[in-house]
Amino acid sequence: MEHDVYIAIGSNLGDKASTIFSAIGAIDELDSTSVVRLSTLIETDPVGPGDQDTYLNAAAHLRTALPARALLDALLSIESDHGRDRANEERWGPRTLDLDILVFADHTIDEDGLTVPHPRLHERLFVLVPLTEIAPDLTIPGRNETPAQLLMKLSPAR
């Protein structure tokens, strides 16, 4: 059974755009997984400690037959392949690549290291802007709101 999955993508170290496009290529090569749509890349200010470079952020719609945990493991491996060392980095600090599962079909998952929908999805413009571009009417499980509705709450003038 295939699932529609939405992920957030971010980078603020190195050649950010090349890293993001390389990661999308790697995701598209995963077993039983294809990239359906990628949002526009947007530049955003960092949220986190210290003096960091700006981020490039995007969202992608995937279709996969992988279970959520297997997809997460594959995404973490892709991060690692692109130079990310989660074990030795500062929380919300600079990173070469960040891949987060935002929504996994209509599932609500709360396991060690895997919470879906992403617990801070509704608080982050850098997630909601690109997600709204590719899936404005997607109903977020457990919230019964769409990305467009959540974005309007954070940025009423949009």
Mean pLDDT computed over every residue of the chain: 92
Q: How far apart are CA 158 and CA 152, in angstroms?
A: 7
Catalytic member of 84, 85, 106, 110 = 84
- pLDDT score recorded for residue 155: 77
Residue 84 annotated as catalytic: yes
pLDDT (tens digit per residue) in 126-143:
999 999 999 999 999 999
State which fold the 3-119 domain adopts.
Answer: Alpha-Beta Plaits (3.30.70)
> Is 106 among the catalytic positions?
no
Domain residues of the chain, as ranges? 3-119
CA distances to 35, 99, 132 from 136, rounded to whole Å, are 18, 20, 4
CA distance 57 to 20: 9
- The confidence band for 16, taking pLDDT boundaries of 50, 70 and 90, is very high
Instruction: For CA atoms 96, 21, 46, 33, give the dihedral sign.
Output: negative
Choose the catalytic residue: 15, 37, 85, 95.
95
Averaged over 51-60, what is the pLDDT?
A: 92
90 has pLDDT over 80: no
Q: At what angle do helices 16-28 and 68-81 cross, to 10 degrees?
A: 140
pTM: 0.93
Burial class (CB in 10 A: 0-12, 13-18, 19+), 51: exposed
Q: What is the pLDDT of residue 133?
A: 98
Local confidence band at 157 (pLDDT 50, 70, 90 cut-offs): low
Q: Kindly state the percentage of the chain with pLDDT values over 90.
A: 81
33 beta partners: 64
51 has a pLDDT exceeding 90: no
Residue of 98, 112, 137, 143 marked catalytic: 98
Which candidate in 100, 106, 112, 137 is catalytic? Answer: 100
Which band of pLDDT confidence, cut at 50, 70 and 90, is reported for residue 80?
very high
